[in-house]
DNA sequence: CTTTCGATATTCT
DNA sequence: GAATATCGAAAGC
């Protein structure tokens, strides 16, 4: 049943993004547990690719929730987003880091001998390589129904919680949960590499699992307000 | 630890 | 021409 995932992704990205932490994206011989995401929210978000309307590159960002949006970053890297709703708002969550939980040999073949295991899918460009994501081929496919190369499955236990409470309420609870020492399980902060006001405290839409070694190190953009 | 730099597709000025 | 949802290596603290 992917009803829980569908109802979650129907929410705006800043709401659904924290609930994608702990989810697993599977395909092309690997499975990666997502540990770090950033939300981008269409025309109201100056940091979003969709902020200035549809282009050939970003058109799949305007697609239905659960669409994969893959784009070329800095002319070099392939980065992967999961589109969220409402449909037509060009919103989505950038998968920025994860733990390779299956197909480690395949991921290492793609990444080379250098990176440590925790770094195989650390950072959006590296995650794209580890996944074996292909521009053009994968852009616009669904991660919900197995019709595309990748399938997204929710973190254990989340499906049941989303079946018994509205997504926004479940996410509020997730953000409030702490470990035995009182430390939040999910951390949030400004988005990495985003300039201007969109990269500052007004858009604290980067979410990660606190203390997880597969989360990329924060790099502040030159022009970010902070 | 920090800063700097090169690689370079897409978009905007 | 300039900026960008990046990465890894190199050099200087």
Q: Is the CB of A222 under 7 A from strand C?
A: yes
Q: Is the CB of A112 under 7 A from strand C?
A: no
Per-residue pLDDT at A66: 98
What whole-number distance in Å separates Cα of residue A93 and Cα of residue A74?
A: 18
* Interatomic distance A31 CA / C3 C1' (Å): 34
Angle, nearest 10°, between helix axes A13-20 and A167-176?
A: 60
Q: Quickly state the pLDDT bin for A201 (edges 50, 70, 90).
A: very high
Q: C1' nearest to CA of A75: which nucleotide?
A: B9
How do residues A11-50 score in pLDDT, each as one tens digit? 999 999 999 999 999 999 999 999 999 999 998 999 999 9
What whole-number distance in Å separates Cα of residue A209 and Cα of residue A32?
A: 14
What average pLDDT does the structure give for chain A? 96
Nearest residue to A13 (alpha-carbon basis) of A43, A44, A40, A51: A40
Q: Quickly state the pLDDT bin for A1 (edges 50, 70, 90).
A: low
How do residues A39-89 score in pLDDT, each as one tens digit? 999 989 999 999 999 999 999 999 999 999 999 999 999 999 999 988 889
Q: C1' nearest to CA of A79: which nucleotide?
A: C5
Distances (CA, A) of A118 to A58, A125, A201: 30, 15, 28
Domain A1-209 has CATH 3.10.300.10: yes
Q: Quickly state the pLDDT bin for A105 (edges 50, 70, 90).
A: very high
Q: Is the CB of A194 under 7 A from strand C?
A: yes
* Interatomic distance A93 CA / B12 C1' (Å): 24
* Interatomic distance A171 CA / B1 C1' (Å): 36
């Amino acid at each position: 049943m992917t009803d829980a995932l569908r109802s979650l992704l129907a929410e705006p990205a800043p709401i659904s993004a924290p609930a994608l932490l702990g989810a697993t994206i599977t395909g092309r011989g690997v499975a990666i547990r997502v540990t770090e995401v950033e939300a981008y929210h269409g025309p109201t978000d100056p940091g979003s690719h969709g902020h200035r309307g549809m282009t050939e590159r970003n058109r799949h960002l305007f697609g239905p929730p659960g669409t994969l949006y893959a784009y070329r970053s800095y002319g070099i890297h392939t980065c992967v987003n999961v589109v969220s709703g409402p449909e037509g708002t060009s919103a989505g969550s950038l998968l920025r880091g994860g733990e390779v939980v299956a197909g480690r040999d395949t991921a290492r073949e793609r990444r080379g001998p250098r990176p440590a295991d925790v770094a195989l899918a650390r950072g959006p460009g590296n995650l794209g390589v580890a996944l074996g994501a292909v521009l053009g081929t994968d852009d616009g496919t669904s991660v919900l129904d197995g019709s595309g190369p990748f399938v997204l499955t929710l973190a254990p236990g989340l499906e049941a919680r989303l079946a018994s409470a509205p997504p926004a309420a479940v996410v509020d609870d997730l953000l409030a949960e702490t470990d035995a020492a009182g430390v939040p399980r999910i951390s949030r902060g400004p988005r990495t590499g985003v300039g201007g006001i969109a990269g500052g405290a007004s858009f604290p839409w980067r979410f990660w699992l606190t203390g997880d070694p597969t989360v990329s190190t924060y790099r502040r953009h030159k022009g970010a307000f902070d």
